[in-house]
Structure 1
Amino acid sequence: MSVIRTDRWLEEDIDHPVKICEKLEPNFKGHDAVGIYRILTKFGMYKPTKGTRGVYEGLKEKDTWECVEKIYQNYKKKWDGPNIPIYIFPTYQSSGLFSRGERLKGGVSFPDKLFLFLSDKVAPQDVESLFVHEYHHVCRLNMQNKSFEDYTLLDSIIIEGLAEYAVLVNCGRQYLANWCTMYSESDIQYFMEKYLKDNLGKKKMEREHDELLYGGGGIPNMLGYSAGYKIVERYYQTNSYSTKLSFTTPSKKYIVELIEFSRENPD
């Protein structure tokens, strides 16, 4: 598989995204088109507005589908990554919380597919950094051999931290998501003790999992993401980095850095 020509789908049915999602039903077992669209809009897929077609035309003018294909083939070879379909759609143009906390782009990954939601104003380097983040997810999800229901909060914060560390290594610090530097180390230490330490075993389907990962309701914004990046960053200050090993290293191994962080920075 490769980049799917969703531009052709959009050309015909851009004002009817649920109809577009009917084409995705074979890849989403147990979900109909309405359910698929509901899932994708949570991560940034567009909702039809007067400006949506203009975004689509802008993406076409930039040869976005061809550019993402080149990026995909590069990292697939570089990382010996899985062969998956990649779907590109315009992003929702109103303010919102996307998977990397940014408004010009968003994405969501599954073991067998990847979605990118893009504005026509997003720079090519930012498209690559988003792809690196999401494709790292795909690679790790495949190598961990773990069912969705068994993923814990620890697994989630580590997978996010690792994906953004891959952005640092492959794209540069200037392309890191803003949540990587949202809080100071002392803030993270405090939040770890107050919110995360006793909840790392929360399963993905439990309510507290997403509250702690994304923030909200009194919990600091993007807490799990930010803590995950800090944990991973500290780990690689004392351990050599290998992208391929980052796909297979168990989440629990990184928690050693969390423990050491607390010991080195007592209240």
Structure 2
Amino acid sequence: MNFDNPKKICERLTDHFPGEVNPLRIYRYLQDFGMYKPNQKSKKTYEEMKSRKLWENIEKIYLKYKSKWKGPEIPIFIFPMDTSNGRLMKEGKGKSGVSFKDKLFLFLTPIEDPKEIEALFVHEYHHVCRMNGLIKDPAEYTLLDSIILEGLAEHAVAENCGEEYTGEWSRRYSTEELANFWKKDLSEKLSITRKDKLHDQILFGMGSRPRLLGYAIGYEIIKQYKQQKNFTEKASFKLPSDKFTKLLNF
């Protein structure tokens, strides 16, 4: 596996990142989402993950949702999580991931509750299914697209794993707080794309903004939509983002 040399591992990933030939840049990108740093603690995490048969268990979860959602067949890459990343460890409870239209990465610790792993997979694979369901290049997603993407994925977690397995950020802010953020900071910026630095600053809640603000607003938007409209998981992969805000009571 070249465990002690993640750059070497990322050399084997270049085929999955068209146009990117620099494995170090791939590694740094994946580190932002939780990929491990090579050290004794990470090695121990890896060995514990193997003993818990996480790879085999995730394969079963993948086949379950691929069938249920008629989702795409994609490669799934599983690595230990960087446990020194306090922010991700706290927010993700020892798990993290990043999704693309044609692949998925999971970063894990030896989590005891299998539902926690399923919840992470559901969130990330829902992204993959929606990215394939929308007639839009993910590189062109607007802030609204990203907010809705996150809200839908976490509602899929609530429906398939239980609300207790949703991220704490989905309950962190009151509807009134979110309405204020929407009016003051978001409603006029919904069309900015991922190329704009402000996109990630709002989505992830960087600087003086509340943490994971965009995620929380996305969850609230979908909650309000589901209260007023019949909603199916199938529709959640294909409905354009602006459909979800038409009934928003902010």
TM-score tier, shorter chain, comes to over 0.9
Equivalence for 2:143:
153
Query: 3-state DSSP class of the match of 1:107?
Result: strand
Distance 1:159 1:215 in 2: 16
Q: Deviations over 1:89-121 (max 9, x none)?
A: 000001344499314000000000001000013
Equivalence for 2:73:
83
Q: Once the 2 structures are TM-superposed, how far is the Cα of residue 39 of structure 1 from its aligned partner? A: 1.1
Which of these residues, 39, 62, 69, is aligned with residue 59 of structure 2? 69
Q: Once the 2 structures are TM-superposed, how far is the Cα of residue 164 of structure 1 from its aligned partner? A: 0.2
Establish whether residue 58 from structure 1 lines up as the match of residue 58 from structure 2.
no
Which of these residues, 173, 179, 184, is aligned with residue 169 of structure 2? 179
1:164-203 map, 5 Å: 164-203=154-193
Distance 2:33 2:23 in 1: 16
Equivalence for 1:5:
none
Sort the Cα spacing of 1:99 and 1:34 in 2 relative to 1 into closer, same or farther, 3 A. same
Identity %: 47
Q: Deviations over 1:99-154 (max 9, x none)?
A: 99314000000000001000013521100000000000000001113123321000
Which of these residues, 188, 192, 207, is aligned with residue 197 of structure 2? 207
Sort the Cα spacing of 1:91 and 1:40 in 2 relative to 1 into closer, same or farther, 3 A. same
1:10-29 map, 5 Å: 13-29=2-18
Alignment length, in residue pairs? 249
Q: Deviations over 1:22-59 (max 9, x none)?
A: 11111111222111101111111111122011100100
Sort the Cα spacing of 1:99 and 1:180 in 2 relative to 1 into closer, same or farther, 3 A. farther
1:82-101 map, 5 Å: 82-98=72-88, 101=91
Sort the Cα spacing of 1:122 and 1:193 in 2 relative to 1 into closer, same or farther, 3 A. farther
Q: Deviations over 1:66-111 (max 9, x none)?
A: 0000000000000000000001000000134449931400000000
Establish whether residue 247 from structure 1 lines up as the match of residue 227 from structure 2.
no
Unaligned runs of 5+ in 1: 1-8, 263-267
Question: TM-score if structure 2 supplies the norm length?
Answer: 0.96
Equivalence for 1:124:
114
Question: TM-score if structure 1 supplies the norm length?
Answer: 0.90
Query: 3-state DSSP class of the match of 1:114?
Result: strand
Query: 3-state DSSP class of the match of 1:14?
Result: coil
| Contact 2:34–2:85 under 8 Å retained in 1 | no
